[in-house]
Amino acid sequence: MALRRSTWLDGYYCKVRSIANANPLNPRSDRDITTFQRGSKSSPYTPSPVSPWIISSPCLRYPSVHTPMYKRVAQLSITPRTPLNAFRPPLGTMPPFKRKASGPAAAPLQKRQCAALPNPSQYNDSTNEIKYGIVLRKYYPPEMTNDRAREYISGKIERPIEALNKAIHETQAARDNVPVGDSVVHWYKNDLRTLDNKSLHLASEKAKTHGIPLICVYLVSPQDFEAHLTAPVRVDFILRNLQVLRQSLAELDIPLYVETIEKRRNLPPRIMELCSRWRANHIFCNMEYEVDELRREAALTRACIDKGISFTVVHDTCVVEPGKLSSGAGGQMSVYSPWHRKWCAFLNQYPKELDCFPLPVRNPPHARQSFLELFDCDIPDAPESKCLSEEEKKRFRALWPAGEREAHDRLSRFILERVGAYHNTRNTPSASGTSILSPHLAAGTIAARTVVREARSAAPNQKLTDDRKQGHSMWIGEVAWRDFYKHVLCHWPYICMNKPFKPEYSNIEWEYDLDQFQKWTQGRTGFPIVDAAMRQVAHMAYMHNRCRMIVASFLAKDLLIDWRMGEKWFMEHLLDGDFASNNGGWGFSASCGVDPQPYFRIFNPLLQSEKFDPHGEYIRKWVPELAEIKDSKGIHDPYGRGYEKIAKMNGYPRPMVDHKTSRDRALARYKQGIGRETA
Report yes or no: 222 and 267 within 8 Å, Cβ to Cβ. Answer: no
Q: How far apart are CA 478 and CA 427, in angstroms?
A: 12
* Type and span of the H or E element at 259: strand 256-260
The Cβ of residue 205 has, within 10 Å, a number of other Cβ atoms equal to 17
- DSSP-derived secondary structure for 140-188: --SPPPHHHHHHHHHTSSPPHHHHHHHHHHHHHHHHHT---BSEEEEEE
**Mean pLDDT, contiguous 10-residue spans, the chain (679 residues):** 31 30 34 30 32 27 38 36 36 38 38 37 53 66 77 90 97 96 97 98 98 97 92 98 98 98 94 97 97 94 97 98 89 92 96 97 94 93 94 97 98 96 94 94 98 93 85 95 97 88 86 97 98 98 97 98 96 96 95 91 97 97 98 97 97 98 96 66
pLDDT at 331: 84
pLDDT at 149: 85
Q: How far apart are CA 295 and CA 160, in angstroms?
A: 6
The Cβ of residue 269 has, within 10 Å, a number of other Cβ atoms equal to 17
Handedness of CA 467, 468, 472, 477 (dihedral sign): positive
One-letter amino acid at 631 equals D
pLDDT at 130: 67
pLDDT at 521: 98
Give the bridge partners for 511, in sequence order: 561
Q: How far apart are CA 593 and CA 574, in angstroms?
A: 20
Q: In what order do the strands lie in the sheet with 214-220?
A: 256-260, 214-220, 183-188, 280-286, 310-314
One-letter amino acid at 197 equals N
pLDDT at 127: 66
Give the bridge partners for 285, in sequence order: 187, 313
Tell me the CATH number for domain 503-674.
1.10.579.10
- Binding-site residues: 422, 434-438, 475, 478-485, 576-578
Burial class of residue 551 (count of CB atoms within 10 Å of its CB; 0-12, 13-18, 19+): buried
* Catalytic machinery residues: 478, 481, 510, 545, 563, 586
pLDDT at 328: 81
> 545-553 and 563-573 helices cross at what angle (nearest 10)?
150
pLDDT at 145: 80
- Binding-site residues for FAD: 422, 434-438, 475, 478-485, 576-578
pLDDT at 138: 62
